[in-house]
C-alpha cells in the first residue's frame, strides 16, 4: 500500500473521530453508570430503537457470557425500552431523537462512546438481534477468549453475520419476551457465501445467505454485507467506518489469514427474521433511515408480500458452535 | 522432603499462593520469585498471606521480561536460597506461577526418590530442535540482542540483519557446547550447586546475559558440564503453538489433563476454577484411575497448530482467504467435468450416476440456470440455482459446491455455451478430472429442427468458444487431469475411455462396465458436417468424419459386444 493511500486513510480516520466528537452533543445521558467500569471490564456497545421485547434475553445472554457493562444509545424509542434499560444496574443509556441515518447508522454515536469509555477495554459492538458465538463458548467465558487474544497480540476478532430464520412463514410463531430467539429462528444457510477483498480497507467483503438467495436472487451484488468485526481491544485512536463491517486503522481488518491457515473467528447469529420483522420492515420503509435508501427493506417488503418463506430443503438447523466450525463458517484457529 | 519447588510468579498471585500451599502441605519447601514489575502492594499481600507457612521463602526480585536474562537471574537467586536454606532438598523443581501439579505430590517425591542422581532437563544441541522462534537457533548464541523483541521488533530484526551482513560473531567461553530446551527443569542438588558455585560462573553469566532467550539455554548448556545422568525431558507438560507461546489449559481440558500422566502442567488459565479445585483440593481425584494418555494432548495441540498454519483445503471463509497459490488445494475434493458426453449420449447423466455412484449434475454453468442433479432449485449448503447468483462469483460458487458436498464426488457437464465457467480455475485445479469430446456440440444442432442458416451461425460460434476452452485446457499451466478426444476418435471405441474415466474416479467397484450409455443416432451426421462445409463454415473440432451419406452409422456394422466377463 502506497504512502498516499495510507495518508488518505489517516485523514479519513481523523474525520470520523472528529465527526464522533461533534455528534456527541446529540446524546443525552439518561442513566450514566460508567463510573462502575473497572480497569479490565468487558464492555458492550449497542444502539436500539423499540426493541423492548428483545432486550431481556439480549442482556441476559451477554451477562452470562461475561460482559460487565452495557453502553446503549436509544434512538427515540416509544415502547418503554428506554425506561427498561435505565432501570438495569449494569447499563448506561443515552437518548437521542436525531436521525439514525445522519449519524451514519449509529456509528458516530458509538464511535464517541467508545472513544470516551472504551479505551483499553475489549469492546463488543452488536445490535440487539445479534448473538455472538465463539469457539468453546459453551465451556469458556468471553474473558477466556479476550485473555487468549491478548496473549497472542491479536487486537480484533472477526464474527460473520449468520442470518437465522424459522421454518415456514415468518409470522407463524410469535416471539415471547425473554425467549431465546433461536428457538424460533433456528435455521441457516450453511454454504452459499461469496467473499472478496476490499482493496482500500483490507477487509473481506462477504455476501450471501438467505437474504441474497431469496430477496436478491437476481441482483446478488445488492445483497447486504455479512462481514463483521464486533470484538476489538479498543484504543481511542480507532474508529468504525461503516457499521461494524470495517475499522480504521486498516490493520484491524486483517482478521483472515492469506497463507492458507485459519485464524480464530466467531459468528454473530442474526435473529432478525422473527414475527416482529414484518412490522419493522414497514416502519423502516416509512422512516427511510436505513442503508442505501432502505433498498434492503424495499426488497424484503416486495418478496414478503408473496411468500415470506426463507426456509428451503437444504437449510441447516442450528445445534452449536462445533457444528458451525465443522461447516467452515467459523474457526478455532490455533486456540485449543 | 527431598524435593524443593521454585516458583517464578508474575501474575495471578492468588493462584500462586494456592499452588504454593498445595506443595507445602505435602512437605515440599517453596521459594517464590515475584517479578520486580509486580507492585509492592500486591507483593506484600502475598507475603502476608503466606506468613503462616514455615517452609516458604521469598528471594531477591528481578525484572523478568520474556527472552531476557532476568528469568535466569531469578532462577539463580531462588536456587541459591533453596539450596542454602533447605539442607534436606535433593531435587530442585523449577516451575511458574501458572503451573499446576496434576498428580499427588507424594508421587512426584517418590518418583524422584527412586532416581536420586537423575537430572530432568530437556537439553538438545541447536541443530536438533525445530521449535526456535524467529529462526534464530545457532545465531542466538553468537549475536548481540540489545533491543527488545516484544517492544522493539523492528530494531531487533534490523540489528540481527546488520550482524549477519557484517558477519559479527561473539566468542563462546571455552568448553561450552550450546544446548537448548524447555526452561522448566528439575535438577539435583549436586548439579545445581556445581553450576552455581562454578569458579567460572562470572564468565558464563556475562556471556549468557547477551544470549537471546537465555532461560532456554543457560541451565541446559551448563548442566551438560556437570551432570552425570541427564534425562533429556521436562517433567512439566507444556505445549507451544506456532509462535512459541504456550497453549493454555481451561476447565474443559480436565479429562485430558487427568489422563495425561504428567506431574505438572502449564500453563493454566488463572480463572480455570474447576481445574484448580479438582487438582489442588481433591488428592484422590487428581489423577484418576484412567489409563494415561499423553498422546491425546499432543494430538489436540498439534492439530490446532496445523489448522492455524495449513488450514482446511478448499475452504474459503471469513478467517481463511488465501492468496493465489497458497490455497493448499483450491477445492476440497476431487470432481469430474464432462464436455460433449451428454450431447453424444442420450442418457449420459443417469448412466454415469449409476455406473460411478456419484452425484451427476447437468450444465452447472448453463446461462439460463444452474442445472443441479434432478434439476433441484437449491442444493447442499442452500446454494441457489439462480444464474445471477452463480455468475456473481463463479469460483466461489464452485468451491462452495465442492466444499458443501465433501465426501461425495461431484460430476457435471460443460459445453462451449457455458461461457461463465471459470475455465482457468478448473484447468489449474489438480482435483479436477476434465474429459472433453470436442465437436460433440454439433450433435444437438444436427438433431434440431431449425433453419440451416441459424445452425450454421451457432456452429461457427460454438466452434470458436470451444477452441478457446481447449486452448486453456492445453496450456502448460494445467494441473487438472485433462483428456481430450475429437468426436471421430471417441466413437471409434467409446467404451475404453469411459472405462478409464470411471476407474480413475476410484470408486468401490472395480469391475468392468456392463452397460453402455445410449449413443445418439448419427445417421446423416457426416452429411450434416459436409453441408456446413459447403456453406463455407469449416467444422474441424470433431475430427475427420467421412462425408458419405451413411459413413458413420454404428448400426450398420455391429461392433464387439461391450459385455466382458
* Residue B268: closest C-alpha in chain A: A144
pLDDT band at B261 (very low <50, low <70, confident <90, very high): confident
What are A306's three cell numbers?
408473496
Asked if residue B84 has pLDDT above 80, the reply is yes
Residue A282 has a pLDDT of 76
Longest dimension (CA), chain B: 111
Interface test with A, best of B266, B317, B390, B408 (most A CBs within 10 A): B317
B548 or A98, which is more confident = A98
Looking at the structure, do residues B222 and B371 belong to the same domain, yes or no?
Answer: no
Residue B553 has a pLDDT of 46
Looking at the structure, do residues B221 and B351 belong to the same domain, yes or no?
Answer: no
Residue B425 falls inside a structural domain: yes
Q: DSSP string spanning A116-139? A: IIITTSEEEE--TTEEEE-TTTTT
Put simply, the chain B residues between 202 and 261 with a CB less than 8 A from any chain A CB are: 241-243, 245, 247-248, 250-252
CA-CA-CA-CA torsion sign (A88, A92, A97, A98): negative
Residue A113 has a pLDDT of 94
Q: What sections of A126-264 are H helices per DSSP? A: 142-151, 209-210
CA-CA-CA-CA torsion sign (B161, B167, B169, B175): positive
pLDDT band at A254 (very low <50, low <70, confident <90, very high): very high
Q: What does the DSSP 8-state code read for residue A331?
A: B
Residue B556 has a pLDDT of 46
Put simply, the chain A residues between 229 and 268 with a CB less than 8 A from any chain B CB are: 255-265
* CATH number of the domain within which B499 lies: 3.40.50
Asked if residue B559 has pLDDT above 60, the reply is no
Strand partners, A72: A46, A93
B175 or B19, which is more confident = B19
Domain boundary among B271, B289, B311: B271
- In 3D space, the residue among B543, B354, B548, B559 whose CA is nearest the CA of residue B466 turns out to be B543
Cα–Cα–Cα angle for B9, B15, B16, rounded to 5 degrees: 35
Are A335 and B304 within 8 A, CB to CB? yes
B152 or B29, which is more confident = B29
* CB of B311 less than 8 A from some CB of A: yes
Are A218 and B386 within 8 A, CB to CB? yes
Residue A37 Cα to chain centre, angstroms: 22
| pLDDT digits 0-9 by tens, A6-19 | 889 999 999 998 89
Rounded to whole angstroms, the Cα distance separating B210 from B146 reads 8
pLDDT band at B133 (very low <50, low <70, confident <90, very high): low
Rounded to 5 degrees, φ, ψ at B127 are -65, -25
Residues of A in Cβ contact (< 8 Å) with B382: 189-192, 210, 213, 312, 314-316
Asked if residue B418 has pLDDT above 80, the reply is yes
Asked if residue A99 has pLDDT above 60, the reply is yes
Select from B247, B310, B321 the Cβ nearest to the Cβ of A195.
Answer: B321
* CB of A324 less than 8 A from some CB of B: no
DSSP, collapsed to helix, strand or coil, labels residue A219 as coil
Average pLDDT over residues B173-193: 88
- In 3D space, the residue among B129, B231, B223, B222 whose CA is nearest the CA of residue B181 turns out to be B129
Residue B130 has a pLDDT of 62
Residue B334 has a pLDDT of 92
Rounded to whole angstroms, the Cα distance separating A31 from B499 reads 76
> How many Cα atoms occupy the beta-carbon half-sphere of B495 within 13 Å?
11
Are A152 and B243 within 8 A, CB to CB? yes
Residue A168 Cα to chain centre, angstroms: 25
Asked if residue B548 has pLDDT above 80, the reply is no
Residue B257 falls inside a structural domain: no
Rounded to whole angstroms, the Cα distance separating B38 from B275 reads 25
- In 3D space, the residue among B518, B552, B553, B562 whose CA is nearest the CA of residue B345 turns out to be B518
Q: Which domain holds residue B187?
A: 3-241+264-271
Rounded to 5 degrees, φ, ψ at A196 are -150, 155
* Residue A311: closest C-alpha in chain B: B382
Q: Are B386 and B370 in contact (CB under 8 A)?
A: yes
Q: Tell me what the pLDDT averaged over chain A comes to.
A: 90
Asked if residue B135 has pLDDT above 70, the reply is no
Rounded to whole angstroms, the Cα distance separating B354 from B38 reads 72
Asked if residue B290 has pLDDT above 60, the reply is no
- In 3D space, the residue among A191, A218, A217, A184 whose CA is nearest the CA of residue A206 turns out to be A191
B298 or B549, which is more confident = B298
Average pLDDT over residues B498-517: 77
DSSP, collapsed to helix, strand or coil, labels residue A44 as strand
Q: Are B205 and B176 in contact (CB under 8 A)?
A: no
Residue B315 falls inside a structural domain: no
Are A197 and B321 within 8 A, CB to CB? yes
Residue B1 has a pLDDT of 55
Are A139 and B250 within 8 A, CB to CB? yes
Residue B547 has a pLDDT of 67
b/e per residue B113-127 (b: at least 16 CB within 10 A): eeeeebbbbbbeebe
* CATH number of the domain within which B229 lies: 3.90.550
Name the burial class of residue B291, with classes exposed (0-12), middle (13-18) and buried (19+) by CB atoms within 10 angstroms of its CB: exposed
Looking at the structure, do residues B234 and B354 belong to the same domain, yes or no?
Answer: no
pLDDT band at B554 (very low <50, low <70, confident <90, very high): very low
Identify the H or E element spanning B14. Answer: helix B13-25
Are A212 and B317 within 8 A, CB to CB? no
Interface test with A, best of B248, B299, B319, B386 (most A CBs within 10 A): B319
Lowest mean pLDDT among A78-92, B50-64, B541-555: B541-555
What are B493's three cell numbers?
471405441
A307 or B371, which is more confident = B371
* CB of B273 less than 8 A from some CB of A: no
* Three-state secondary structure of B193-246: HHHHCCCCHHHHHHHHCCCCCHHHCHHHHHHHHHCCCEECCCCEEECECCCCCE
CA distances from B293 to B175, B253, B262, B268 (A): 40, 13, 10, 19
Average pLDDT over residues B120-145: 74
In percent, the amount of chain A with pLDDT more than 70 equals: 95
Looking at the structure, do residues B201 and B347 belong to the same domain, yes or no?
Answer: no
| pLDDT digits 0-9 by tens, B196-251 | 998 888 999 998 888 888 888 899 999 988 888 888 888 888 887 777 788 899 99
Select from B305, B317, B393 the Cβ nearest to the Cβ of A328.
Answer: B317
* Residue B368: closest C-alpha in chain A: A218
Put simply, the chain B residues between 376 and 395 with a CB less than 8 A from any chain A CB are: 376-384, 386, 388-389, 392-393
Interface test with A, best of B66, B382, B400, B403 (most A CBs within 10 A): B382
pTM: 0.89
Number of domains forming the structure of chain B: 2
Q: Would you list the domain boundaries of chain A?
A: 3-326
- How many CB atoms neighbour CB B309 within 10 A? 16
- How many CB atoms neighbour CB B506 within 10 A? 10
Identify the H or E element spanning B426. Answer: helix B423-428
Select from A218, A220, A256 the Cβ nearest to the Cβ of B319.
Answer: A256
- Kindly indicate whether the domain formed by A3-326 is annotated with CATH number 2.40.128: no
- Closest chain A C-alpha to B384 CA, distance in angstroms: 6
Put simply, the chain A residues between 2 and 61 with a CB less than 8 A from any chain B CB are: none
* Residue A255: closest C-alpha in chain B: B319
Average pLDDT over residues B394-423: 93
Looking at the structure, do residues B345 and B225 belong to the same domain, yes or no?
Answer: no
The four Cα atoms A210, A216, A218, A221 give a dihedral, to 10 degrees, of: -110
Are A333 and B327 within 8 A, CB to CB? no
Residues of A in Cβ contact (< 8 Å) with B315: 262, 328
Residues of A in Cβ contact (< 8 Å) with B312: 262, 328
* CB of B271 less than 8 A from some CB of A: yes
* Residue B302: closest C-alpha in chain A: A334
Average pLDDT over residues A98-125: 90
* Residue B300: closest C-alpha in chain A: A336
Residues of B in Cβ contact (< 8 Å) with A135: none
Amino acid at each position: 500500500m502506497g504512502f498516499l493511500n495510507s495518508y488518505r486513510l489517516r485523514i479519513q480516520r481523523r474525520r470520523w473521530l472528529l465527526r464522533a466528537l461533534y455528534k456527541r452533543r446529540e446524546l443525552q445521558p439518561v442513566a450514566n453508570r460508567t463510573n462502575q467500569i473497572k480497569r479490565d471490564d468487558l464492555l458492550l456497545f449497542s444502539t436500539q430503537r423499540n426493541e423492548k421485547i428483545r432486550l431481556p434475553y439480549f442482556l441476559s445472554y451477554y451477562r452470562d457470557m461475561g460482559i460487565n457493562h452495557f453502553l446503549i444509545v436509544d434512538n427515540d424509542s416509544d415502547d418503554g425500552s428506554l425506561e427498561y434499560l435505565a432501570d438495569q444496574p449494569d447499563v448506561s443509556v443515552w437518548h437521542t431523537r436525531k436521525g439514525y441515518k445522519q449519524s451514519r447508522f449509529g456509528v458516530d454515536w458509538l464511535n464517541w462512546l467508545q472513544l470516551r469509555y472504551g479505551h483499553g477495554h475489549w469492546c463488543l459492538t452488536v445490535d440487539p438481534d445479534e448473538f455472538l458465538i465463539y469457539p468453546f463458548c459453551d465451556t469458556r467465558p468471553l474473558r477466556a477468549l479476550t485473555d487468549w487474544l491478548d496473549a497472542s497480540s491479536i487486537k480484533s476478532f472477526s464474527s460473520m453475520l449468520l442470518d437465522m430464520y424459522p421454518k415456514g412463514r415468518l409470522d407463524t410463531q410469535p416471539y415471547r419476551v425473554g425467549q431465546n430467539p433461536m428457538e424460533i429462528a433456528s435455521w441457516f444457510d450453511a454454504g452459499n457465501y461469496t467473499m472478496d477483498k476490499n482493496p482500500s480497507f483490507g477487509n473481506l467483503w462477504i455476501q450471501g445467505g438467505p437474504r441474497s438467495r431469496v430477496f436478491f436472487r437476481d441482483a446478488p451484488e445488492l445483497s447486504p454485507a455479512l462481514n463483521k468485526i464486533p470484538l476489538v481491544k479498543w484504543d481511542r485512536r480507532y474508529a468504525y467506518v461503516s457499521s461494524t463491517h470495517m475499522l480504521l486503522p486498516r490493520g484491524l481488518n486483517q482478521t483472515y489469514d492469506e497463507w492458507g491457515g485459519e485464524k480464530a473467528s466467531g459468528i454473530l447469529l442474526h435473529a432478525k427474521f422473527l414475527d416482529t420483522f414484518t412490522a419493522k420492515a414497514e416502519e423502516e420503509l416509512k422512516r427511510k433511515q436505513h442503508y442505501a435508501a432502505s433498498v434492503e427493506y424495499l426488497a424484503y417488503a416486495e418478496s414478503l408480500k408473496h411468500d415470506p418463506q426463507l426456509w428451503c430443503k437444504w437449510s441447516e438447523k442450528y445445534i452449536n458452535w462445533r457444528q458451525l466450525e465443522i461447516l467452515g463458517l467459523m474457526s478455532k484457529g490455533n486456540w485449543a | 522432603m527431598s524435593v524443593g519447588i521454585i516458583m517464578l510468579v508474575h501474575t495471578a498471585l492468588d493462584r500462586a499462593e494456592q499452588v504454593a500451599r498445595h506443595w507445602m502441605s505435602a512437605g515440599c519447601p517453596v521459594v517464590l520469585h515475584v517479578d520486580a514489575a509486580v507492585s509492592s502492594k500486591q507483593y506484600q499481600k502475598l507475603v502476608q498471606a503466606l506468613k503462616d507457612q514455615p517452609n516458604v521463602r521469598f528471594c531477591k526480585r528481578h525484572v523478568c521480561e520474556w527472552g531476557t536474562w532476568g528469568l535466569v537471574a531469578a532462577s539463580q537467586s531462588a536456587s541459591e536460597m533453596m539450596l542454602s536454606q533447605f539442607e534436606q532438598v535433593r531435587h530442585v523443581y523449577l516451575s511458574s506461577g501458572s503451573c499446576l501439579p496434576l498428580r499427588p505430590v507424594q508421587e512426584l517425591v517418590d518418583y524422584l526418590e527412586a532416581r536420586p542422581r537423575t537430572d530432568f532437563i530437556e537439553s538438545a544441541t541447536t541443530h536438533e530442535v525445530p521449535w526456535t522462534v524467529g529462526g534464530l537457533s545457532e545465531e542466538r548464541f553468537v549475536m548481540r540482542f540489545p533491543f527488545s523483541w516484544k517492544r522493539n521488533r523492528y530494531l531487533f530484526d534490523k540489528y540481527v540483519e546488520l550482524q549477519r551482513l557484517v558477519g559479527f560473531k561473539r566468542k563462546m567461553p571455552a568448553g561450552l557446547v550450546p544446548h537448548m530446551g524447555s526452561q522448566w527443569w528439575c535438577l539435583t542438588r549436586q548439579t545445581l550447586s556445581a553450576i552455581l558455585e562454578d569458579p567460572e560462573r562470572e564468565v558464563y553469566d556475562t556471556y549468557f546475559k547477551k544470549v537471546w532467550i537465555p532461560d532456554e539455554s543457560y541451565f541446559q548448556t551448563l548442566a551438560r558440564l556437570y551432570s552425570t545422568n541427564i534425562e533429556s525431558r521436562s517433567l512439566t507438560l507444556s505445549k507451544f503453538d506456532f509462535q512459541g507461546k504456550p497453549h493454555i489449559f481451561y476447565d474443559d481440558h480436565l479429562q485430558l489433563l487427568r489422563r495425561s500422566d504428567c506431574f505438572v502442567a502449564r500453563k493454566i488459565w488463572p480463572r480455570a476454577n474447576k481445574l484448580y479445585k479438582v487438582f489442588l483440593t481433591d488428592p484422590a481425584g487428581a489423577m484418576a484411575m484412567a489409563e494415561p494418555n499423553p498422546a491425546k494432548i499432543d494430538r489436540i495441540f498439534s492439530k490446532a497448530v496445523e489448522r492455524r498454519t495449513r488450514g482446511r483445503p478448499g475452504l474459503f471463509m471469513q478467517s481463511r482467504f488465501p492468496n493465489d497459490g497458497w490455497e493448499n488445494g483450491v477445492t476440497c475434493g476431487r470432481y469430474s467435468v464432462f464436455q460433449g458426453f451428454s450431447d453424444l449420449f442420450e442418457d449420459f447423466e443417469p448412466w454415469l450416476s449409476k455406473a460411478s455412484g456419484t452425484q451427476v449434475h447437468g450444465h452447472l454453468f448453463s446461462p439460463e440456470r444452474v442445472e443441479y442433479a434432478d434439476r433441484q432449485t437449491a442444493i447442499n449448503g442452500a446454494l441457489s440455482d439462480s444464474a445471477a447468483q452463480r455468475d456473481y462469483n463463479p469460483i466461489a460458487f464452485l468451491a462452495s459446491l465442492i466444499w458443501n458436498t465433501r465426501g461425495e464426488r461431484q460430476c457435471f457437464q460443460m459445453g462451449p455455451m457455458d461461457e461463465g465457467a471459470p475455465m482457468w480455475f478448473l484447468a489449474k485445479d489438480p482435483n479436477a478430472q476434465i474429459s472433453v469430446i470436442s465437436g460433440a456440440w454439433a450433435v444437438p444442432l444436427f438433431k434440431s429442427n431449425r433453419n440451416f442458416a441459424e445452425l450454421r451461425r451457432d456452429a461457427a460460434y460454438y466452434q470458436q468458444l470451444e477452441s478457446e476452452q481447449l486452448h486453456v485446457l492445453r496450456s502448460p499451466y494445467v494441473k487438472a487431469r485433462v483428456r481430450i478426444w475429437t468426436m471421430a476418435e471417441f466413437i471409434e471405441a467409446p467404451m475404453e475411455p469411459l472405462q478409464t474415466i470411471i476407474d480413475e474416479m476410484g470408486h468401490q467397484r472395480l469391475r468392468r462396465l456392463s452397460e453402455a450409455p445410449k449413443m445418439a443416432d448419427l445417421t446423416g451426421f457426416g452429411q450434416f458436417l459436409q453441408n456446413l462445409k459447403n456453406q463455407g463454415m469449416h467444422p474441424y473440432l470433431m475430427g475427420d468424419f467421412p462425408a458419405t451419406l451413411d459413413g458413420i452409422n454404428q448400426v450398420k456394422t455391429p461392433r464387439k459386444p461391450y459385455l466382458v466377463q
